[in-house]
Amino acid sequence: MIGYSALDFSQLARDIVIWGQALGFAELGIADTELSVEEAHLDAWLLAGRHGEMDYMARHGARRARPAEMVPGTIRVISARLDYLPRRARDPGSTLADTRKAYISRYALGRDYHKVMRRRLQQLVDRIDGAIAASSDSAGDTYRHRVFTDSAPVLEVALAAKAGLGWRGKHTLLLTREAGSFFFLGEIYTDLPLPLTPPVAAHCGTCRACIDVCPTGAIVAPYELDARRCISYLTIELKGSIPESLRPLIGNRVYGCDDCQLACPWNKYAQTSDEPDFDVRHGLDDVDLAHLFGWTESDFNVRMEGSAIRRIGFERWLRNLAVGLGNAEYSEQIVGALSSRRDDVSPLVREHVSWALAEQEKKRVTARATPACGSCG
């Protein structure tokens, strides 16, 4: 960056927070780029293979922890938090408890957040551009910046924690006392020498609610996640067959999982979003698994237009739904829905349908063998 003798960077930092909040961000902070401790943790995590099939995690390697290698000249990262809990959504506990229903992670009930986050971050960059242009000694002055919205190798939780937006919880997500963890994070890499926001203390204490509640035991220790067991990984990132031993543990979670967040005491302070794009679409907060399984590929593409769910494609969508149907309480309707895809063109779908039908048959046999009257036997 070329020098700006007329620019008050302390005032600019304060203005950035004000402008960001006016754009709808709940909180903003500024971090430096020293991530050597986080880089060591990342290296150990990758070496243990806990990233599963997410090869891009290993491919980008150290660049995640070295912002200046991603955007040359970067010395500061502006981190922003955007709350996403949708308005008027069905209680997640009710959906999880009803085995006929499909549970979809709260962040994916509305439109894809990437465009919303990127648009707002770009608007913030434009405001910064204007301030620099107005204060610069030279019309030729320029500065480097780049916007990120979960679209590149960025250690966003580590950077947000350094920027004072919260602390890393034992489930590895960022936590804040004011809003729990139901929010998105976005970043602006810049070479502006902005003053840093002080970090906040951690407040997890001895609590291990997130660890104990994880259906698949993916949180193997405080602050350590084995993605290969995580339901979000299994239903979103994994391209092939879901391990049979983990299928019964997935329950009716067909896209992502929120259990660790729902169990966290700090999320009693989680904030709902007033962003219309995050409102529930197509009744996805209260919809039967069998109904979704009956969609054609055209239905899926049309109804999931603009949704994060569309990224996994129709085949994996059916795979996930088949697992949910297999885990549901026995019913002839579910067996009929599964049977309709017994000969699906996809071997992946056929395999999971076959497993699900076998699970339904086990439940049918068990139900017949169970006395109808509680006083019997």
292 and 265 in one domain?
no
In whole angstroms, what is the distance from residue 271 CA to residue 181 CA?
9
Task: Report the amino acid identity of residue 222.
Answer: P
In whole angstroms, what is the distance from residue 103 CA to residue 295 CA?
17
196 and 298 in one domain?
no
**Do the domain assignments include residue 377?**
no
Q: Which of 141, 150, 279, 344 is catalytic?
A: 150
302 and 344 in one domain?
yes
**Do the domain assignments include residue 52?**
yes
164 and 69 in one domain?
yes
**Do the domain assignments include residue 96?**
yes
Which of 282, 309, 332 terminates a domain? The answer is 282
SS3 183: strand
What CATH number has the domain bearing residue 351?
A: 1.25.10
**What is the chain's alpha carbon radius of gyration, rounded to the nearest angstrom?**
23
In whole angstroms, what is the distance from residue 151 CA to residue 114 CA?
8
164 and 237 in one domain?
yes
Which of 282, 317, 337 terminates a domain? The answer is 282
325 and 278 in one domain?
no
CA triple 223-228-233, angle to 5 deg: 90
Residue 53: per-residue pLDDT = 85
**pLDDT tens by residue, 69-105:** 989 999 999 999 999 999 999 999 999 999 999 999 9
| Catalytic site includes residue 15 | no
**Do the domain assignments include residue 374?**
no
Tell me the residue range of the domain where 265 lies: 1-282
**pLDDT tens by residue, 124-165:** 999 999 988 887 654 445 678 999 988 777 899 999 999 999
Distances (CA, A) of 322 to 107, 252, 338, 361, 370: 22, 10, 7, 14, 26
Number of domains in the chain: 2
302 and 215 in one domain?
no
Two tokens, residue 178: 């004011």
- For residue 98, which of 253, 244, 232 has the smallest C-alpha distance? 253
Block means of pLDDT (10 residues each) for the chain, length 377 residues? 65 97 97 95 90 78 84 96 95 97 97 93 94 68 82 89 98 97 97 97 98 98 97 97 98 98 98 96 97 98 96 98 98 98 98 98 89 55
353 and 219 in one domain?
no
Written as one string, the DSSP assignment of 71-114 is STT--EEEEEEEE-BPTTPPPHHHHHH-TTBPEE-GGGSSS-HH
Residue 153: per-residue pLDDT = 77
Residue 1: per-residue pLDDT = 43
**Do the domain assignments include residue 373?**
no
**Do the domain assignments include residue 149?**
yes
**Do the domain assignments include residue 375?**
no
Chain center to CA of 206? 25
Residue 3: per-residue pLDDT = 47
113 and 90 in one domain?
yes
**Do the domain assignments include residue 324?**
yes
Which of 232, 248, 282 terminates a domain? The answer is 282
98 and 60 in one domain?
yes
306 and 221 in one domain?
no
- pTM, two decimals, is 0.93
Number of Cβ within a 10 Å radius of residue 120 = 20
In whole angstroms, what is the distance from residue 322 CA to residue 350 CA?
9
